[in-house]
Chains A and B, each alone.
Chain A
């Protein structure tokens, strides 16, 4: 590898290149957000990946799916294939374990990760990933965006980091029973949600920044959690007001008894 390849990111620390190269990182969902994330992780120097996506490229993905071309629609190219090719073009010796299925169907490889990035659409999907990350002691970074309103559309989004023993997405006020119940009630009726490339890029870049900081600690912030809100109309990311106003200091939703494989009960 060229000595100069990472010279422009030497401020990350003397050991950063080695730390990044040895870390195993998972990405769940390789669509609008995940495709940005994988590309950036490869640029930064990550070498070990566990990737999940069961979808193929469709016409409606071309407005935002990084790496996709018009030819991928008739070819029915798996999004997983696009992600792997993006990594291999930058990191030919990368170790990629890719799964064209839901992560729940092959959960074991995910447990080898130190950091998991989730790019899924639903609250339920986020909750399931966070539970797995708590159970097997992994950092979880979630991104998501939505567009609200038709007359005056508002782009919103979030980047959340949930770490073992830190505040979880429920503590941070992001996941609530009401949101999960409302989503469950609308299941199948929501239709395709608006998605565009630039908010995905902003959210993905911020998530990669958090991941790089977790691996290198170059900011010396030693974060235990993060909840950043994105205002896509203003083009601003700021710490979540919800989190700032919550008096919660420790997580009460996950306990050490829930760590590890579930133990069968003898009844």
Chain B
């Protein structure tokens, strides 16, 4: 099964702009981006990102053991947004930036912490796809939990439909 993500150039630029802003105490920013499902051939899947939510500064929790920690207020907002978007099968993706160039991978903290959010999102939006997107300065990687699956799938390609078109292809297996 192939999974692809499309997003517009303006959405991509807006997310990069927000995620690169310095935070008063957190070492990095995180955000949420919403995605709707599109069908491809066979059981391949297309996820179409529509809008980005910037997490307000005061919804971060000061914790210097990690680069960024968001509090329950931000998570509650995200769960509610998924719940209200369920009629459109709109899922949510946790997104953040890793410094540097090239294909980003999940850090040990990412692998340990972020997937814990997914069951909560699936419980309020069971028909949608949810996941994780990590961007670098010139690439991006995604992991998605599709409807009915407890395992993540690595996104094969992220296409930024802007000028220029950017294609972030998965060159690693997982």
Contacts and interface: CB of A to CB of B under 8 A. Distances in A.
A19 interface: yes
A136 B46 contact: yes
Contacts, number: 88
A208 to B, nearest CB: 15
Contact of A221 (B7, B40, B163): B163
A217 B48 contact: no
A124 interface: no
Interface string B35-59: 0111111000010101100000000
Nearest to A221: B163
B10 interface: yes
Say which size band chain B's interface belongs to: 20 to 34
Given A111-B40, A261-B38, A263-B87, A214 B46 contact: no
A222 interface: yes
Given A259-B36, A263-B87, A263-B89, A111 B163 contact: no
Interface in B14-54: 36-41, 46, 48, 50-51
B159 interface: yes
Contact of B165 (A114, A136, A260, A263): A114
Contacts of A217: 163-164
- Among B9, B41, B159, B161, max chain A CB count under 10 A is at B161
Contacts of B8: 137, 163-165
B17 to A, nearest CB: 15
B6 interface: yes
8 contacts: A111-B40, A114-B167, A115-B165, A139-B165, A214-B164, A215-B164, A215-B165, A263-B88
